[in-house]
Amino acid sequence: MADTPIFPVTRAAALERLAQFVPHAGVDYARRRNFDQGPGHHDAVSRLSAALRRRVLSEADVVDAVAAAHGPDAAASFISEVFWRTYWKGWLEQRPAIWTRYLAGRDAARQMLRRDPDLAERHGDAVAGHTGIDAFDHWMGELAQTGYLHNWARMQVASIWIFTLGLPWELGAAHFLDQLRDGDPASNTLSWRWVAGLHTAGKAYLADADRITAMTGGRFAPKGLAGATTIPADAPPPAAAPWRTPQTLDIGAPALVWITPEDAGLEQDPALSRLPVRGVVACRSHAGCAADATALDDALERAAAQWQAPAQWIESPADLADAARAAGTSQIVTGFVPVGPLADALPAIRALVESEGLALAEHLRAWDNTVWPHCRRGFFALKQEIPALLPLLLKEPA
Ligand SMILES: Cc1cc2nc3c(=O)[nH]c(=O)nc-3n(C[C@H](O)[C@H](O)[C@H](O)COP(=O)(O)OP(=O)(O)OC[C@H]3O[C@@H](n4cnc5c(N)ncnc54)[C@H](O)[C@@H]3O)c2cc1C
């Protein structure tokens, strides 16, 4: 067990980590989770986010194990953090314009970097961890070296980025999304907006030097932090609207399963166990970072074993139709593609597939379908519903 990767992305390694972490997921987690002990010492938290982000482990896998060990009450703090992930996903799915707005803001900020040398220099110093603010510089280095930051450190970094360094939040969010091993369009974009004061109207998060010293065991004494927040200008978010209706799959029709980093655990979903799978593919174009490559490789192997079907890499979604024909199917099935870069590319992929007379169906997990309707307002509206939702979601009710 000693060699479990620090931030696992294969199912076997993630299950091993889960087994190691479960004994600490009850009151221990509630007590210790906010303290940042530094690289190599993040053992108060699960470090399962890279696996959860790709659904190598599902939310149900994790909540099931923790609730069974501690009971839902003692594990409430950990379970609630897992629901934060679902909350952000569901919230963004019902307001996809916020993602488009983020992309536009990021691109405008990148243009500003080209025009404004002072801004470009401050941005370069922030990214390189050369600001002179000890904690911030350390965390930027930790992010670059490990692809991970403790949740509390992410909050401090984002706050210092926005309010002390005066940099556009969208550039910080883009840097995180690029560097984090668990980089997720919903959790990342909306957490940055939450820190900036754009999620809960008028409420921003201000990093405090004494608190940083206390929460990091005295490792840092940052100087010169902003004493107040200036919330960036932004239009109010649109009202929640129903999420995109995916094309439903035909559970009796032969299928080619297309695995993406958005759901690399489809073979675990009981709803798909009867699907007559004729082949499984993943795209090399989606394996740009090492974590995605490893997770997809592992997912191909597991899916091939589960469905007793041949699995292979294809270059890109442009090869999906050929792969489906070679497998003798006219139905391609993938996990629901949530808001983000792949969903942005999906209409063109779908058009290509359909022009070849094939269907591209997306499978929405029962977890999402059950929880997302409660993700239209603030998190606390969802949190209140967790006890009532758990019996509907747990595989083995605690
Ligand atoms: C500015 C900022 C950016 C972030 N960007 C991302 C991101 O790109 N991807 C990502 O997965 N999380 C992101 N988070 C949320 C959170 O920091 C990470 O999920 C968490 O630190 C992962 O570490 P862990 O697995 O050890 O968490 P644990 O404390 O062990 O939590 C268990 C799981 O619950 C979920 N979770 C916990 N806290 C949160 C949270 N606040 N929001 C959403 N989900 C949560 C994660 O899936 C996590 O693996 C961000 C937070 C902030 C403040």
In the reported structure, the alpha carbon of residue 195 is separated from the centroid of ligand 1 by a whole-number distance in angstroms of 14
Say how far apart CA 358 and CA 267 lie, in whole Å.
Answer: 22
Ligand 1 atom index nearest CA of 87: 43
Q: CB count, 10 Å around CB of 282?
A: 25
Q: Quickly tell me which residue has 């919330």 as its tokens.
A: 231
Q: Is 258 in the pocket of ligand 1 (CB under 6 A)?
A: no
Please say whether the beta carbons of 358 and 333 come within 8 A. no
Is there a common fold for 103-215 and 255-363?
A: no
Q: Is the CB of 191 under 6 A from ligand 1?
A: yes
Q: In which element (H, E) is residue 362 found?
A: strand 359-363
Per-residue pLDDT band at 2 (split at 50, 70, 90): very low
Rounded CA gap, 233 and 192, in Å? 14
Residue nearest to atom 12 of ligand 1 (CA): 187
CB distance 81 to ligand 1 below 6 Å: yes
Q: Whose CA is nearest to atom 43 of ligand 1?
A: 85
Specify the ligand 1 atom closest to the Cα of 45: 30
Mean pLDDT of all residues in 186-205: 96
Ligand 1 centre to CA of 384 (Å) is 20
- Residue 51's alpha-carbon distances to 54, 195, 248, 330, in angstroms, are 5, 24, 26, 31
Question: pLDDT digits over 201-245, tens only?
Answer: 889 999 999 999 999 999 999 999 999 999 999 999 999 999 999
C-beta of 367 in contact with ligand 1 (< 6 A)? no
Tokens 């840097």 correspond to 175
pLDDT digits (tens, 9 = 90+) for 65-112: 999 999 999 999 999 999 999 999 999 999 999 999 999 999 999 999
By alpha-carbon position, which residue is closest to atom 44 of ligand 1?
85
So where are the chain's domains?
A: 11-93+371-393, 103-215, 255-363
Q: How far is CA 35 from CA 217, 234, 386, in A?
A: 8, 32, 25
CATH superfamily of the domain spanning 255-363: HUPs (3.40.50.620)
Q: Which atom of ligand 1 is nearest to the CA of 52?
A: 47
The fraction of the chain above a pLDDT of 70, given in percent, is 98
Which ligand 1 atom is nearest residue 48's CA? 25
- The residue nearest atom 38 of ligand 1, judged by CA position, is 81
Please list, in sequence order, all residues whose beta carbon lies within 8 angstroms of the beta carbon of residue 301, skipping any fewer than 6 positions away. Answer: 311
50 lines ligand 1 (CB under 6 A): no
Predicted TM-score (pTM) of this structure: 0.97
Does domain 11-93+371-393 fall under CATH 1.25.40? My reply is: yes
Query: Ligand 1 mean position to 48 CA, how many Å?
Result: 9
Cα of 187 from ligand 1 centre, angstroms: 7
What confidence tens digit (pLDDT) does each residue in 101-159 have?
A: 999 999 999 999 999 999 999 999 999 999 999 999 999 999 999 999 999 999 999 99
CATH of 103-215, one of 3.30.70.3420, 1.10.579.10, 3.30.1050.10, 1.10.645.10: 1.10.579.10
CA of 314 to the centre of ligand 1 (A): 31
Give me ligand 1 centre to Cα 52, in Å: 10
Residues 6+ apart with CB under 8 A from 86: 59, 367, 368, 371, 372, 375, 382
